Amino acid sequence: MATAVTAYYFCPDRVSRKMGRLCQTRTPLMLCVKNVSLRLPESRLLTNVNFTVDKGDIVTLMGPSGCGKSTLFSWMIGALAGQFSCTGELWLNEQRIDMLPTAQRQIGILFQDALLFDQFSVGQNLLLALPATLKGNARRNAVNDALERSGLDGAFHQDPATLSGGQRARVALLRALLAQPKALLLDEPFSRLDVALRDNFRHWVFSEIRAMAIPVVQVTHDLQDIPPDSPVLDMAQWSENYNKLR
């Protein structure tokens, strides 16, 4: 089990700091980062990162640009750039997965840019995400149900290029969820949306992922993105680059 770390809890009406133990859990359905250190040939980026996310929880990582948030995500999904080296472990549901290829880790990720295949229709984009175990009419039904749930009923044959920014963001999230990940990473998924769209989309995203009861980690610079009473981890405690600039 990973070492407990200090968690910062942001309340809706004020910001307060409380001690929290993220590694206490009674169920095996969790994501655990254990003693992870990332470095470049000439410098260390992150040192001894430890945290655990229980099922249904959304943990937020915050910190200044360059502190290693996105690099940590790249390592978690198995896409760390070659110039980095890493020690430590990644566990999901009591299985160590950091040695597995990306496709076998069962971790989904949603980026700040809604990356869709514009040569395919909305429905085809979503069909591509479905696991191979889902066969026949069940595949089309799963996509139609997801579109209806997200307020995009009838958009199956629509060209992604005709979607608004908010609609593209919803399709991107649906694609991540239809893949049935065991954990999900959110890399500033709300930052590109207009302020008018952001609040409703944020609420919808958190409702969808909590219904799946999977562990979720998000990166953001915006306090409004943090769900009420959810733990927030300050990346500065692990970041060598940040500490050198202080």
Full pLDDT tens readout for the chain, 246 residues:
433 333 332 323 323 333 233 444 445 679 999 999 999 988 889 999 999 999 999 999 998 887 888 899 999 999 999 899 999 999 999 999 999 999 899 999 988 777 899 999 999 999 999 998 999 999 999 999 999 988 899 999 999 999 988 888 889 889 998 999 999 999 988 887 777 778 888 888 888 888 889 999 999 988 989 998 899 999 888 986 554 544
pLDDT of residue 215: 95
- CATH number for position 230: 3.40.50
Q: Provide the angle, in degrees to the nearest 10, between the axes of the packed helices 165-178 and 195-212.
A: 10
pLDDT of residue 242: 52
pLDDT of residue 2: 38
pLDDT of residue 195: 79
Count the Cβ atoms, other than its own, within 10 Å of residue 229: 9
Task: Report the candidate in 243, 194, 232 with the shortest Cα–Cα distance to residue 43.
Answer: 243
In a domain, 226, yes or no: yes
Domain containing residue 2: 1-55+63-100+219-246
In a domain, 224, yes or no: yes
In a domain, 117, yes or no: no
Q: Which two tokens stand for residue 203?
A: 């609420």
In a domain, 120, yes or no: no
pLDDT of residue 241: 59
Mapped onto helix, strand or coil, the DSSP state of residue 59 is strand
pLDDT of residue 27: 52
CA dist list (Å): 160 to 65, 108, 172, 183, 188: 31, 21, 10, 26, 21
Question: What is the count of structural domains for the chain?
Answer: 1
In a domain, 129, yes or no: no
**CA geometry: angle 177, 183, 184, nearest 5 deg:** 60
Task: Report the candidate in 122, 72, 118 with the shortest Cα–Cα distance to residue 233.
Answer: 72
In a domain, 114, yes or no: no
Residue 125 CA to its chain's centroid (Å): 20
In a domain, 149, yes or no: no
In a domain, 236, yes or no: yes
